[in-house]
Every structure is written in structure tokens, then in C-alpha cells.
A = this chain, B = another copy of it.
Amino acid sequence: MKAVYLAETPYSLERVAQIIAGEQSTGTFTAVPGETDALKERHAARVEAIEALEEADAPSLPGSKLPQGHDGKYRRGYITVSFPLHNFGPSIPNLMSAVAGNLYELQELSGLRLVDLELPASFAGRYPGPKFGIEGTRKLAGVYGRPVLGTIVKPSIGLSPEELGKLVYDLALAGMDFIKDDELNANPPYFPLELKVKTVMEAVERAADVTGRKLMYAFNITGDIDELKANHDLVVRSGGTCVMVSILSVGLAGLAYLNSFSEVPIHGHRNQWGMLTRAPLLGFEFTAYQKLCRLAGADQLHVNGLNSKFYESNESVLRSIKACTTPLLGSYEAMPVVSSAQWAGTAPATYEATGSVDVMHLAGGGMLAHPDGPTAGFESMKLGWEAAVQGIPLSEYALSHPILQRAIDKYGKG
């Protein structure tokens, strides 16, 4: 299996490539008895490729040591290392110790980012991956030919059972395909999950009696490992069709565990992810991380959104969307979840980039705070996508669709 790193070093790229390969397989900081040539032949990681990039005048991260006679330059480049799979087997937890491990702390590096992982087929034998993916999500939500459109319960926290029940009922009548809990709201003592599931599912069923369509509600079941099964079973037993977890809260291992018994799609939220990715020469690129999320079973996976309230560039968001929809080991399809500061106006650019309506497009304030209310907010999102798919500029389409115009008036100033 291969890992690709973006590295920065005051040494030569060749030197640190060897250090990376040694540190993560048979080597240590001083020669030890037993590291024979035969052992290295079978177990050493190997440097497969080095691609030099630009040089920098200052280190990206603190704590690197300098070689004697350092010329003041910090060399950057891509380093590809291959690892013998029999060193750790098709195990996500042990893969992480091998490809990340202590590398980020090495003094010979002033920057390191894991940018890609090439996983062998044996991972597919071990991890079944998403059971629902795009098609399964569409089938359960009853939405075809356009994005699954939805929203997030806001305020994130604090609604009473009466308020939440009314909100969900109203949103369902407004035509919503999908609603999710906020990542801040899982099983809070002031409003336990059991009561939430009961409250929400009553509203969903009552609305379905009117609309003939049952919306998908992603219940945030994030919790400790011994709570995941009970929380999941509670949702399924109550007729729910989706569970959500904060992937970094339960861990990739927790996600894979949930996937071992889940009976409905898993909505994978990536809060806390910024911690691992915002420094350009540290951490993890989402294009690599999303592979592990999909292996571990995320049917729906957050990727931020265009022009979001977050630091991430649109280019990076588009790379993430593309990565999630690129087959992994022949399959492992997950539906990208586009969210954060979204509204009808972000539909055209999203569609232009993806060339597909196989996305879940969520708007919080950008839909619920529409001047004419959530019904109009939802309608404005649909109109945004209609315009996008038909190739009509939004402002033109808005001429004959005042609800869209009012969305533009409110959200389009930024």
C-alpha cells in the first residue's frame, strides 16, 4: 500500500524520504542488532517517488533541526512511500499508526501532510463500506433527478419537544427531503435522544400522512461506543431512516463499528476536521481522509460548501466533492453533503463543478430564515437547482420566480 506525503525539510528530500520510510517500518534513531538485510528486505517501507516543489525561506512548523552548513532553504516536495501490507494488514487503526505514526513530530521535517493513500483490495475484504450510498439514500428519501435538499434544526440547541415537533412537522409540510440534527445536539440531558426520536418521528409520520412522503431525519447518535448500538436501535425501532455521527468524535474505528450493525444510512459529520487540515503543511488532506471514512461506512459525508462561512477555498471544496464521488476499490459510493452558509445562490456553482445532482445540499439559516418562511426557503433552493440544471442565470430565473428573488435579496449581498 502507498502513502503520498507533502513534506518540507531543511535537509534534502532524498534524506527525509529515507527517514520517513525507516521510522515507519524497521528503523529507529540508532542501529540495533537484528535489523538484518533479510528483515529489511521483507519489512522495510520503500521510497517510491520524490517530486520536488518550490523552496521556502522559513520553516512552516517549529522545532526542526538544521543540517550542518544549512543553506537557509526549506525544500518542499511530494514523497511516495510504499509499505508492505503484511506489516499491519487491512486495518484502518493500524494503517494510521503506520502511515502517520510519529512522523509529524520528526525534527528533520518542518512540515508534513498526508495527501493520498492508495489502498489495496484486501481493505475491501475487511471493510464492507456504505450499505446505502447515493442510491440507497435516494430510495429512502424518495428523491430522484435532483439533489436531496434539506436543512439543519436551528437553533442548534434549546428547542423544547413542542417546538421541535412543530418545527419538524412544518418543515416536512414545506416539502423538505431531509433534516438533520446539529452536531451540537445528540443526546443532551435537557432533551434526551429517546424523547427526541419519539417527538421527531411522530411529527414525521403525521406529516407523511398529509404529504404522502416520509422525510429522512438524521438523528445525531454520537456518543460512547457502548451507546451507539442502543441509540441506533432506538432510531430504527421508531421508524427513523438515518443516523448521524461526528466521525472525529467516535473515531474511524467507532464509525466502522456502527457500520457493522447499522440498518439505515450513516450521515458522517466531519466537525473537528479543521484541526487536522487547516495548516497547509501539517495533518491530512480530505481527499485522503474521505477514503477511510467511506471504507468505514459513511453513506453521506460532509464536504463543506462553496462560499461557505469557513476558511476553506472553493477549489478545495470541489476537490472534496470530486474525491467522494470517485470510485474507491471499485465502489464505496458516498453522497457528498454540501453545507454551511448555503442558499439557492450556491446551487449553480455547485452544479457547474459537479456536473451532477447526486449531492445532498443543506441550508440552515439560508433556507429557514427566508423572508417568507421555511416553505419559501425550500422552494427557493429547488428553484436555484432548476435554474442551474437548465443553464439559466439565477437573476434571470428569479424574474419569474419572486421567491427566488427574495432569497437573492436577502442572501445575495455577500
In the complex the two chains form, what is the Cα distance from A287 to B64 in whole Å? Answer: 22
Which A residues between 348 and 405 are near B, CB-CB below 8 angstroms?
364-366, 368-369
State whether A249 touches B159 (Cβ < 8 A).
Answer: no
Residues of chain B within 8 A of A103, CB atoms compared? 274
Closest to A164 in B: B34
**A34 and B64 alpha carbons, distance in the complex (Å):** 51
Q: A223 contacts the other chain (Cβ, under 8 Å)?
A: yes
A158: Cβ under 8 A from any B Cβ:
yes
Inter-chain contact A154/B246, CB cutoff 8 Å: no
Nearest to A284 among chain B residues (CB) is: B275
Q: Is the CB of A28 within 8 A of B97?
A: no
A237 within 8 A of B: no
A210 within 8 A of B: no
Q: Mark A22-38, 1 if CB is under 8 A from B, else 0.
A: 00111111111111000
The distance in angstroms between the C-alpha atoms of A312 and B185, with both chains bound, is: 36
Q: Which of A29-57 contact B (CB under 8 A)?
A: 29-35, 39-40, 42-43
CB-nearest residue of chain B to A31:
B369
Copies in the complex: 2
Verify if A142 is at the interface (C-beta below 8 Å from B).
no
- A211 on the B face (CB < 8 A): no
Binds B, one of A201-209, A250-258, A327-335: A250-258
| Stretch from A73-81, A86-94, A130-138, A172-180 that touches the partner | A86-94
Q: In the complex the two chains form, what is the Cα distance from A311 to B257 in whole Å?
A: 35
Q: A248 near B: Cβ within 8 Å?
A: yes
A250-284 CB contacts (< 8 Å) to partner B: 250-254, 256-257, 260, 271-276, 278-280, 282-284
Contact partner of A87 (CB less than 8 A), chosen from B62, B93, B157, is B157
Query: Is A412 at the interface (CB under 8 A from chain B)?
Result: no
Whether A97 contacts B186 by the Cβ 8 Å rule is yes
Q: How many residues of A contact B (CB 8 A)?
A: 99
Asked if B105 contacts A310 (CB within 8 A), the reply is yes
CB pair A42 B158 closer than 8 Å: yes
> A222 CB to closest chain B CB, in angstroms?
5
Quick check: A89 and B189 within 8 Å, CB to CB?
A: yes
The secondary-structure label for the interface of chain A is loop
A272 touches B104 (CB 8 A): yes
Please, which residue of chain B has its CB at the minimum distance from the CB of A94?
B186
Given contacts A34-B155, A98-B184, A251-B253, contact A224 B310 (CB under 8 A): no
Say whether A326 faces chain B, with CB atoms less than 8 Å apart: no
Distance between A201 CB and nearest chain B CB, rounded to angstroms = 20
Enumerate chain B residues within 8 angstroms of A63, measured Cβ to Cβ.
Answer: 278, 310-313
Asked if A14 is at the interface (CB within 8 A of a chain B CB), the reply is: no
Interface contact B105-A311, CB-CB below 8 Å: yes
Pair B280/A30 contact, Cβ less than 8 Å: no
- Within the complex, what minimum Cβ distance (angstroms) separates A20 from chain B? 13
A158, A188, A260: residue with the most chain B Cβ atoms closer than 10 Å:
A158
**A19 to chain B: closest CB distance in Å?**
10
User: Which B residues are in CB contact (< 8 Å) with A167?
Assistant: 34
Does A100 touch B at the CB level, under 8 Å? yes
Write out the residue numbers on chain B whose beta carbons fall within 8 Å of the beta carbon of A223.
Answer: 91, 93-94, 253
A368 to B304, CA, bound (A): 49
Are the C-beta atoms of B26 and A157 separated by less than 8 Å?
Answer: yes
State whether the Cβ of A61 lies closer than 8 Å to any Cβ in chain B: yes
**Which residue numbers of A lie inside 8 Å of B, CB to CB?**
24-35, 39-40, 42-43, 61-64, 85-89, 91-94, 96-98, 100-107, 109, 154-159, 163, 167, 183-190, 222-226, 246, 248-254, 256-257, 260, 271-276, 278-280, 282-284, 304, 309-313, 340-341, 364-366, 368-369, 411
Complex A-B: 15 CB contacts under 8 Å: A27-B156, A35-B155, A42-B158, A86-B189, A89-B188, A94-B188, A96-B248, A96-B272, A97-B272, A104-B278, A105-B274, A225-B225, A249-B251, A251-B253, A279-B279
